[in-house]
Structure 1
Amino acid sequence: MVSIIPNIDVRQKDANQALVVAISSSAVFESSDDIDGVHSVGVAFSLLQALQSVNRRLLAENPEESLLFDVLLITTDSREQEQSTRIINSTKHYGLDVSRFCFSCQDNFIESLLQNNVQLFLSMEPDEALRVSQEGVLSALLDQQKSSRPSEQLRVLFCDDDDDDGGGGMAPANRQTAQRFWSRLGDIRRRFGILDSPLSIIVMTSHKGRDSCGDALMMLRSHGISADEAYCLAGAPRGPILSVLAPHFLLGGLR
């Protein structure tokens, strides 16, 4: 059984224009309760803040803007579903711009993602992300060790492989689906100038040399994405620089 609950306290996005992102509730909130009877924040809390910051700036530039991030919070754990009211109240308590809440069992949650036109699914569970990507929905893993500090800028890193040595990774996905998401993300980035953008696109190549990085930049540019930063590691470990760059999530597929 699938239950979709709209959040009446936030502005609902245009389903045909918005970039729909589904995030596992277990990544946003810890299971423990705080003194106010709401969940404490999890590793994806700063990601939600950053998505919200991009939307706020887009609407400040154009109150009629329809190309916005539309966030769906999905819960598949049966114990968490029993606390659905607490999850909803926690979201409102922290002022998070979540449009809809989806409560579903593991057997049906992928169907709910497809029905809601989800274009990116974010989770801390590798098996869950892999299952979603095999159904054609772009998915990425969130770093379980990353602290949830306030963030006013969404930082998205494109990389040339899926190895996970410190920053989270991306499960395989249909390339056409991935490129469609890249294009929409590039459209959002172009809404802002070079400086003081609430969205930063980073490119990092781990193998080969400068030519590999140049090829990656050109390939992304062909899909409408211009990078704000680019790094060519040429075989060096990427963990140290990831800790400095602190991307909210990684998208592979550049090779």
Structure 2
Amino acid sequence: MTGGNSPIGYLKAYNTNLYLSSDPVKVHEALEEGIAAATMFTPEKMTEVSETQLRVAFDGDAVLFSDESEQIYKAHGLDKFFEHEKAHENKPLDHGPLKGFLEVLGKLQKKFYAKGQRMDCPIRTYLVTARSAASSGARALKTLRLWGLEIDEALFLAGAPKGPILEKIRPHIFFDDQMFHVEGAAEMGTVACHVPYGIAQRVPEGKGIKDKGIFSIK
């Protein structure tokens, strides 16, 4: 309780790993402070999700990774983007705003792996990206490996809609920097979060948003 004042100044003191809010302005403030943050959209009718496994799905560029490659695509087109990714395949991408959140999820997962429970781990992570596995996916995977991070499933859609894949995965929460992907996921009953980062950002109007919270994982 902050008496109407913004809670953003307290996030680092609380070792906050993820800040979710219905207020996009506060989300921007949190990201500027280096805190993983997103604007949460809760659909009116939510799809059924697993009761035994937490499933978290991430977009790649401008979410886990920087928007470096997205800038190339926007400025020079798809062919130049593919050329750039091929030429820099072995150079890791810079980190994006939610890299740290994936790291803390990974630390929790490793506690179960150490007990020989990898296949039964109650946390599962997904990379759901518009990148193509054949032409630009290698750099994303190599970046995660160089960071020492693992993702349970990587799904490369080559520009196809993400809705059908999300319907199959049924994640508890999905993060993307593109509002049309967030809106599409929410329409299908998925809790979707907009990460306003990089060149594609735009502040959502807040229609249909519910709930907010601060999460610290120990």
Q: Over residues 86-143 of structure 1, what are the superposed CA-to-partner deviations in whole Å (9 max), with x where a residue is unaligned?
A: xxxxxxxxxxxxxxxxx12453311122221212112243333222111211112333
2:108 to 179, 188, 195: 188
Say whether residues 1:134 and 2:134 are aligned partners.
no
* Corresponding letter in the other structure for 1:144: T
Q: Secondary structure at the match of 2:138?
A: helix
2:53 to 153, 156, 159: 153
Q: Secondary structure at the match of 2:5?
A: coil
CA contact (8 A) 2:21 2:40 kept: yes
Q: In structure 2, what is the Cα distance between the partners aligned to 1:140 and 1:205?
A: 18
Q: Secondary structure at the match of 2:41?
A: coil
More strand by share: 1
CA contact (8 A) 1:186 1:224 kept: no
Q: In structure 2, what is the Cα distance between the partners aligned to 1:237 and 1:120?
A: 26
Question: 1:109 aligns to what?
Answer: 7
Deviation at 1:182, TM superposition (A): 2.9
Q: Over residues 148-204 of structure 1, what are the superposed CA-to-partner deviations in whole Å (9 max), with x where a residue is unaligned?
A: 756321112121246xxxxxx89x999487444333322222222331110001112
Say whether residues 1:204 and 2:128 are aligned partners.
yes
* Corresponding letter in the other structure for 1:225: L
Q: In structure 2, what is the Cα distance between the partners aligned to 1:250 and 1:179?
A: 14
Q: In structure 2, what is the Cα distance between the partners aligned to 1:226 and 1:152?
A: 21
Question: 2:173 aligns to what?
Answer: 249
Alpha-carbon distance change, 191 to 210 in structure 1, aligned in 2, over 3 angstroms: farther
Q: Secondary structure at the match of 1:114?
A: coil
Q: Secondary structure at the match of 1:188?
A: helix
- Considering only aligned residues, what root-mean-square deviation do their CA atoms show, in Å? 3.3
Q: TM-score under structure 2 normalisation?
A: 0.54
Say whether residues 1:144 and 2:68 are aligned partners.
no
Extract unaligned runs of 5+ from structure 1: 1-102, 163-168
CA contact (8 A) 2:56 2:124 kept: yes
* Corresponding letter in the other structure for 2:2: S
Q: In structure 2, what is the Cα distance between the partners aligned to 1:106 and 1:217?
A: 43
Alpha-carbon distance change, 224 to 252 in structure 1, aligned in 2, over 3 angstroms: farther
Say whether residues 1:119 and 2:17 are aligned partners.
yes
Extract unaligned runs of 5+ from structure 2: 68-93, 178-197, 199-218
Q: In structure 2, what is the Cα distance between the partners aligned to 1:106 and 1:135?
A: 20
Alignment of 1:167-178 (within 5 A): 175=95, 178=98
Q: In structure 1, what is the Cα distance between the partners aligned to 2:41 and 2:106?
A: 23
Q: In structure 2, what is the Cα distance between the partners aligned to 1:126 and 1:198?
A: 30
CA contact (8 A) 1:182 1:223 kept: no
Alignment of 1:95-106 (within 5 A): 103-106=1-4
Q: Secondary structure at the match of 1:152?
A: coil
CA contact (8 A) 2:47 2:170 kept: no
Question: 1:69 aligns to what?
Answer: none
CA contact (8 A) 2:19 2:38 kept: yes
Q: In structure 1, what is the Cα distance between the partners aligned to 2:176 and 2:4?
A: 25
Q: Secondary structure at the match of 2:15?
A: coil
Question: 2:86 aligns to what?
Answer: none
Alignment of 1:25-104 (within 5 A): 103-104=1-2
Alpha-carbon distance change, 152 to 123 in structure 1, aligned in 2, over 3 angstroms: farther
CA contact (8 A) 1:186 1:226 kept: yes
Deviation at 1:220, TM superposition (A): 1.7
